[in-house]
């Protein structure tokens, strides 16, 4: 048994200090992971999935490639979605394939990204937050549950703040509807009903600009607590706002994200304040790869032979809910578990190709399902952490099955008319 | 094998100035002769130059990509369709990667240097360069606000180099970089400490025991000691500030006797008092460069129209944010640098913009040695690289230039010497110097920028045309590595370009010094920091440093 270094690409923290014990072609143990990381390694090594299935029947990879290419060639409007749980190299291949088949491609967490596109944002990598921030505000974010090692890595959990040696003034404040696990690590909790994000953030913008607020109109807002929060943010030399997908999950998510970015920008005139959106897996990589190849971070259509982007029109969820796509290539994504019932229903009715190292319900119901060798375990690669820092994925184990990248490249080659080997 | 037959050849590095002759290419290189039945490209009546070399551009990495995300409206208005040889893409001031490679090639450029890569993001920059076809590309590594280097610089004392040279070489090797870039040394670190900056070379970077002058001096010495092919590439302190020409001169004085290249000199050539209207100090800086052969600059010409400002000099971006009130990105990169992005438009009626435009032209027209004052727009900061043909026309065509001068803000023009009707018109030979031979020489790329035997077979053939803008916008042929890539504005092939990276020897013991400093400052493991992945680094060509062998 030997110890090997590994990177966990489970949650978006990209922890690259993982140690795995490698026995005879299997992982014997994993160290330094959080509970999500344990699951990430386990799910990708547990079942020996068939390398390829067509209509539930095990087949040669080559045959599955043929069937996939035929489906995608025949489709009028194929959709490529998922992409958060694979490496940048596979994402590159996916964008290339989407272009070749004139597909709509969308990694699919649009609203927060669209706000950043419309407004810009001030942000930072983990190291600068860890070493410079005096104040971290978790707004509608519960990193203790969603990104368990984030606060320890930023030294903003209770233990990290106590041991930081930088004085007691470092502070964690949580703004959320309920007492989450992160609240247990925090110094201050500000309760805010979920529907009041925009009002609270906009009121804070007014407070930053010393504009008086009519308290009668804002009776549902915890104005005193928000005022104190604004004062702290203005006074601190380096402040950080973590925000989670909860902020932009609702229909009005776009304006919420816009309000948060606007607040950070207002604060940045006097204090050094940055925002860090919590992202999952390699969602940041998907956004980055799509942006460098097309100019757009999400919701891209290649139907006209060049990239066009329009969140809503070309968002994966919308294209499915409206019943527009007539085939779907789903990369590393439990679509049926994560999409709206209406979209999931539609996915069940169209031919789907699933490329994933995990056993999911989506893969079981797929026309073609590839059980791939996972990046980060059997294949090397790159992921972008939620802060944009690229980290390498190692391959502590070997597998003769193809990885996501190889499957996507083979389908692209077959679509282009190249014969199989 | 290809003979480019009977064109008028401009190859200033080899003293050829418009001679009608053949250029023979074989196996990716320029060769002496070819058999008489070798394939020919008839270039009679045409102008033949080496492929263009861009010494200072921003084409890959997290800052460029953040700027792409900000500009959906530009992309929508400017699209590239997928073809048999081309991936699709989008343009605007910050094009997608594929579009960037194609458009540089369509312009006759075959080598491009990205001037600002944060080392922590090297993998990202390399991945984008892999998706930037045709051009050979190199990148400069940001080192002017690196906390680990600051510590080694402080230890080295005011006159020594200590372990800085080894660390610099380690960083270049770890990232796949080509050269060293300093951006507002010390100032970006101060920005991350409560939105502050440095304003003089002797301001201390708070609590760190170094000053901008100390950083400049030590790293310039280290680069010379390592014998890197390209000198230290400096974006001076106080960019854009009225009166900053004094800082620029102070920087050059500090670096006297050591090689140095100043980036986008135009942005650093302002007289006047901070906070007030700037005026031009281009003549003084041009004069200084003339008398200091160890120093060089690219101009960073501003062109009227849309641009995207994109810089590691984050405090400057905050000022631009307050000017435009528009989109703004700030991105702090731990222990190394910062980043700021603001979409921008230069308008000819605006005093400051017209002054910037005028200062750029002054620098071109007043400098006596075009080999050391070369062409750039600091793409996409001053303008897109697509505006080079128009800039070339401004330099070559006095009548056109005077028409344009008459359209610009006259108060600003009055603060320059442009009204004196500067007679100089660049010749085709001069253009070949400032767009290929000069940049290649300053970069130390011995196989680029010329057509002597052994040079890379990168050649651009233009139809001679009195309208120089039209001529340089649409080359008749572009040949890369001996292969015909562009014909009359159409892309015929789009092979991958090479990564150009430096090979500099260093003492591997430096890792032991870096290890504890690393653990303190970074959020990645030291073992994962150096890029080793072949799919990111290859195909590459190494250019060797000559330790102890460099001369100013």
Helix/strand/coil (H, E, C) string of B321-381?
Answer: HHHHCCCCEEEEECCCECCEEEEEEECCCCHHHHHHHHHHHHHHHHCCCCCCEECCCCECC
For residue B550, pLDDT over 70 is answered with: no
Q: From A121, which residue of chain B is nearest by alpha-carbon distance?
A: B329
Q: For residue B552, name the pLDDT band (cuts at 50, 70, 90).
A: very low
In B117-211, alpha helices (H): 122-130, 147-156, 164-175, 187-191
**Run of H or E including A190:** strand A188-191
Residues of B with CB below 8 A from A123's CB?
329-332
> What integer pLDDT is reported at residue A246 of this predicted model?
79
Average pLDDT score over residue span B77-101: 98
**Mean of pLDDT values over B441-451:** 98
Mean pLDDT of B227-255: 98
Find all residues with CB under 8 Å of A51, minimum gap 6, and list them.
A61, A370, A371, A372, A401, A402
Confidence of residue A113 (pLDDT cuts 50, 70, 90): confident
Cβ atoms of residues B127 and A88 within 8 Å: yes
Q: Of residues A251 and B48, which shows the higher confidence score?
A: B48
CATH number at B102 reads 3.20.20
**Beta pairing partners, B478:** B460, B486
Average pLDDT, chain A: 94
CA distance A26 to B438: 57
Q: Is A323 on the interface with B (CB under 8 A)?
A: no
pLDDT above 80 (res B139): yes
As a whole number, the mean pLDDT across chain B is: 97
With CB atoms and an 8 Å threshold, state whether A121 touches B71: no
Helix (H, G, I), strand (E, B) or coil at B283: helix
User: Is residue B85 a part of any domain in this protein?
Assistant: yes
Contact map slice: A 362-401 vs B, CB within 8 A: 380, 382, 384, 388-392
Based on its alpha-carbon atoms, the radius of gyration of chain A, rounded to whole angstroms, reads: 23
| B525 with A384: Cβ contact below 8 A | no
Query: Does residue B25 lie in a domain region?
Result: no
Min Cα distance A307 → chain B (Å) is 6
Q: What does the DSSP 8-state code read for residue B55? A: E
Q: What is the ipTM of this complex?
A: 0.97
Q: Flag whether pLDDT at A101 surpasses 70.
A: yes
Residues for chain B: how many in total?
552
Residue B11, in any domain of the structure: no
- A110: pLDDT confidence band, cut at 50, 70 and 90? low
Distances (CA, A) of B534 to B123, B229, B538: 11, 24, 6
| A395 contacts A40 by C-beta, under 8 angstroms | no
Q: Give the model's pLDDT for residue B419.
A: 85
Surface-to-core class of residue B34, CB atoms within 10 Å of its CB (0-12 exposed, 13-18 middle, 19+ buried): middle
Does A342 contact chain B (CB < 8 Å)?
A: no
Cβ separation of A296 and B65 shorter than 8 Å?
no
The CA-to-CA distance between both ends of chain B, in Å, stands at: 38
| Residue linked to tokens 């302002």 | B270
Compute the Cα dihedral for A201, A204, A205, A206 and give only its sign: positive
pLDDT of residue A168: 54
Cα–Cα nearest to B380, from B303, B441, B493? B303
**Which of B150, B523, B526, B531 best tests the A interface by mutation, with the highest count of A CBs <10 A?**
B523
- The fraction of chain B above a pLDDT of 90, given in percent, is 97
Is B72 in Cβ contact with A5 (below 8 Å)? no
* pLDDT mean over A67-94: 97
For residue B41, tell me if it sits in a domain.
Answer: no
Question: Three-class SS of residue B261?
Answer: strand
Check pLDDT > 80 for residue B551.
no
Q: Are B1 and B34 in contact (CB under 8 A)?
A: yes
Identify the band that residue B472 occupies on the pLDDT scale cut at 50, 70 and 90: very high
Inspect the interface and report whether the beta carbons of A269 and B97 lie closer than 8 Å: no
Helix ranges (DSSP H) in A133-280: 143-146, 150-154, 158-163, 197-208, 223-235, 253-268
Cβ of B528 within 8 Å of Cβ of A237? The answer is no
- Chosen for mutation from B64, B332, B342, B496 (greatest number of chain A CBs closer than 10 Å) is B332
Kindly state whether residue B335 falls inside one of the protein's structural domains. Answer: yes
pLDDT in tens, B404-433: 999 999 999 999 999 887 899 999 999 999
Cα angle A37-A11-A261, degrees, rounded to a multiple of 5:
155
Is residue B541 domain-resident? Answer: no
Helix (H) or strand (E) holding A243: strand A238-243
Q: Is residue B1 part of a domain?
A: no
Considering only the beta carbons, identify the residue of B79, B330, B533 that sits closest to A268.
B330
Kindly identify which residue of chain B lies nearest to residue A299, measuring between CA atoms: B72
Query: Which of A88, A275, A306, A409 to probe by mutation at the B interface, max B CB count within 10 Å?
Result: A306
Pairing state between β B459-463 and B46-50: antiparallel
Tell me which H or E stretch contains B89: strand B89-90
Render pLDDT for A28-52 as a digit per residue (tens, 0 to 9): 999 999 999 999 999 999 877 899 9
Token pair belonging to A279: 């992202």
- Residue A157: pLDDT over 80: yes
Q: Look at residues B498, B475, B377 and name the one whose alpha carbon lies nearest to residue B434.
A: B377
Taking only the tens place, the pLDDT of each residue in A273-299 is: 999 999 999 999 999 999 999 999 999
Q: Does B210 score more than 70 pLDDT? A: yes
Structure token digits, residue B365: 């027209």
Category of A165 on φ-ψ map: left (φ > 0), alpha (ψ -120 to 50) or beta = left
Cα gap B528→A16, rounded to integer Å: 8
For B140-155, the pLDDT digits (tens) are 999 999 999 999 999 9
Regarding predicted confidence, which is higher, B96 or A312? B96
Give a yes or no: residue B397 inside a domain: yes
- What pLDDT score was predicted for residue A418? 72
Q: Span B365-378, mean pLDDT?
A: 97
SS (H, E, C) B428-485: HHHHHHHHHHHHHHHHCCCCCCCCCCCCECCEEEEECCCCHHHHHHCCCEEEECCEEE
Q: Which of B68, B82, B335 sits opposite A306 (nearest CB)?
A: B82
Assess whether pLDDT exceeds 90 at residue A252: no
Q: Are B379 and B301 in contact (CB under 8 A)?
A: no
pLDDT at B473 over 70: yes
Mean pLDDT over residues A172-187, rounded?
97
Going along chain A from its start, the domains and CATH numbers come out as 50-109+282-415 (3.40.50.740), 112-277 (3.40.228.10)
Structurally, chain B folds into a number of domains equal to 1
Tell me which residue range forms the domain holding B85: 48-499
Residue of B nearest to A235 (CA): B194
Helix (H) or strand (E) holding B56: strand B52-57
Phi, psi of B238 (to 5 degrees): 65, 30
3-state secondary structure of A290: helix
Question: Which chain B residues contact residue A125 at CB under 8 A?
Answer: 120, 331-334, 523
Percent of residues in chain B assigned helix, strand, coil, to nearest 5: 35, 25, 40
């Amino acid at each position: 048994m030997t110890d090997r270094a590994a990177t966990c690409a489970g949650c978006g923290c990209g922890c690259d200090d993982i140690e795995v014990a490698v026995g005879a072609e299997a992982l014997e143990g994993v160290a330094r992971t959080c509970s999500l990381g344990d699951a990430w390694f386990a799910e990708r090594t547990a079942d020996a999935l068939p390398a390829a299935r067509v209509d539930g029947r095990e087949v040669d990879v080559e045959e599955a490639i043929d069937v996939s290419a035929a489906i995608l060639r025949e489709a009028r409007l194929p959709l490529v979605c998922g992409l958060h749980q694979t490496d940048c190299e596979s994402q590159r291949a996916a964008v290339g394939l989407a272009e070749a088949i004139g597909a709509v491609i969308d990694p699919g967490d649009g609203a927060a990204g669209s706000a950043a596109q419309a407004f810009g944002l001030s942000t930072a990598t983990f190291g600068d937050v860890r070493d410079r921030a005096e104040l971290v505000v978790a707004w509608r974010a519960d990193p203790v549950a969603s990104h368990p090692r984030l606060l320890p890595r930023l030294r903003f959990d209770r233990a990290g703040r106590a041991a930081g040696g930088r004085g007691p003034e470092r502070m964690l404040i949580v703004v959320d509807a309920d007492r989450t696990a992160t609240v247990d690590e925090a110094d201050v909790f500000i309760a805010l009903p979920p529907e009041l994000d925009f009002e609270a953030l906009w009121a804070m913008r007014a407070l930053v600009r010393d504009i008086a607020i009519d308290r009668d109109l804002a009776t549902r807002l915890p104005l005193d607590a928000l005022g104190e929060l604004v004062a702290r943010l203005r006074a601190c030399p380096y402040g950080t706002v973590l925000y989670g997908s909860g902020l932009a999950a609702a229909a009005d998510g776009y304006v919420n994200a816009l309000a948060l970015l606007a607040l950070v920008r207002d604060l940045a005139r006097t204090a050094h304040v940055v925002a860090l959106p919590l992202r999952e897996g390699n969602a940041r990589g998907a956004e980055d790869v799509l942006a460098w190849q097309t100019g757009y971070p999400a919701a891209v259509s290649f139907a006209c032979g060049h990239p066009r982007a329009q969140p809503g029109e070309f968002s994966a969820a919308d294209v499915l809910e409206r019943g527009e796509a007539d085939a779907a290539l789903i990369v590393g994504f439990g679509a049926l578990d994560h999409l709206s019932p209406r979209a999931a229903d539609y996915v069940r009715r169209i031919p789907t190709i699933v490329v994933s190292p995990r056993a999911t319900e989506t893969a079981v119901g797929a026309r073609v399902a590839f059980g791939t060798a996972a990046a980060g375990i059997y294949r090397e690669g790159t992921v972008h952490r939620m802060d944009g820092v690229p980290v390498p994925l190692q391959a502590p184990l070997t597998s003769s099955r193809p990885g996501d990248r190889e499957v996507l490249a083979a389908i692209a080659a077959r679509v282009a008319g190249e014969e199989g080997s | 094998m290809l003979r480019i037959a009977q064109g008028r050849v401009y190859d200033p590095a080899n003293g050829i100035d418009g001679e009608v002759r053949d250029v023979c290419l074989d196996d990716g290189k320029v060769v002496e002769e070819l058999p008489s039945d070798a394939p020919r490209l008839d270039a009679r009546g045409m102008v033949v130059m080496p492929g263009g070399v861009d010494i200072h551009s921003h084409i890959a990495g997290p800052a460029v990509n953040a700027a792409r995300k900000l500009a959906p409206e530009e992309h929508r208005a400017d699209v590239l369709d997928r073809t048999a040889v081309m991936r699709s893409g989008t343009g605007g001031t910050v094009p997608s990667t594929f579009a960037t490679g194609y458009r540089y090639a369509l312009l006759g450029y075959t080598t491009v240097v990205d001037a600002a890569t944060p080392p922590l993001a090297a993998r990202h920059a390399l991945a984008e360069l892999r998706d930037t076809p045709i051009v050979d590309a190199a990148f400069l590594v940001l080192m002017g606000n690196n906390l680990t280097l600051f510590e080694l610089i402080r230890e080295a004392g005011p006159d020594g180099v200590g372990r800085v040279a080894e660390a610099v070489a380690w960083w270049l090797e770890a990232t796949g970089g080509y050269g060293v870039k300093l951006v507002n040394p010390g100032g970006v670190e101060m920005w991350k400490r409560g939105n502050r900056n440095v304003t003089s070379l002797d301001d201390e970077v708070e609590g760190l025991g170094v000053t901008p002058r100390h950083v400049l001096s030590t790293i310039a010495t280290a680069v010379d000691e390592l014998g890197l092919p390209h000198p230290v590439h400096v974006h001076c302190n106080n960019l854009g500030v009225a009166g900053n020409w004094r800082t620029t001169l102070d920087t050059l004085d500090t670096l006297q006797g050591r090689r140095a290249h100043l980036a986008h000199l135009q942005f650093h050539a302002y007289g006047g008092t901070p906070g007030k209207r700037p005026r031009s100090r281009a003549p003084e800086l041009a004069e200084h460069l003339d008398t200091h052969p160890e120093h060089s600059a690219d101009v960073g010409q501003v062109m009227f129209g849309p641009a995207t400002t994109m810089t590691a000099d984050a405090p400057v971006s905050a000022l631009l944010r307050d000017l435009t009130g528009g989109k703004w990105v700030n991105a702090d990169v731990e222990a190394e640098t910062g980043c700021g992005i603001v979409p921008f438009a230069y308008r000819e009626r605006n005093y400051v913009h017209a002054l910037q435009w005028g200062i750029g032209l002054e620098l071109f027209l007043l400098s006596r040695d075009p080999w050391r004052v070369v062409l750039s727009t600091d793409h996409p900061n001053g303008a897109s690289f697509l505006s080079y043909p128009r800039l070339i026309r401004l330099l070559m065509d006095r009548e056109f230039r005077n028409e344009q001068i008459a359209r610009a803000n006259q108060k600003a023009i009055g603060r320059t010497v442009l009204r004196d009707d500067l007679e100089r018109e660049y010749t085709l030979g001069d253009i070949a110097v400032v767009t290929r031979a000069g940049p290649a020489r300053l970069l130390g790329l011995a196989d680029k920028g010329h057509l002597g035997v052994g040079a890379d077979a990168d050649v651009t053939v233009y139809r001679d045309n009195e309208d120089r803008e039209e001529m340089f916008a649409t080359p008749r042929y572009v040949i890369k590595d001996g292969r015909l890539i562009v014909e009359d504005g159409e892309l015929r092939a789009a092979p991958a370009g090479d990564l150009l990276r430096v090979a500099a020897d260093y003492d591997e013991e430096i890792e032991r010094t870096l290890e504890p400093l690393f653990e303190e400052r970074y959020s990645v493991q030291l073992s994962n920091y150096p890029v080793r992945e072949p799919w990111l680094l290859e195909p590459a060509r190494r250019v060797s440093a000559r330790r102890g062998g460099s001369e100013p």
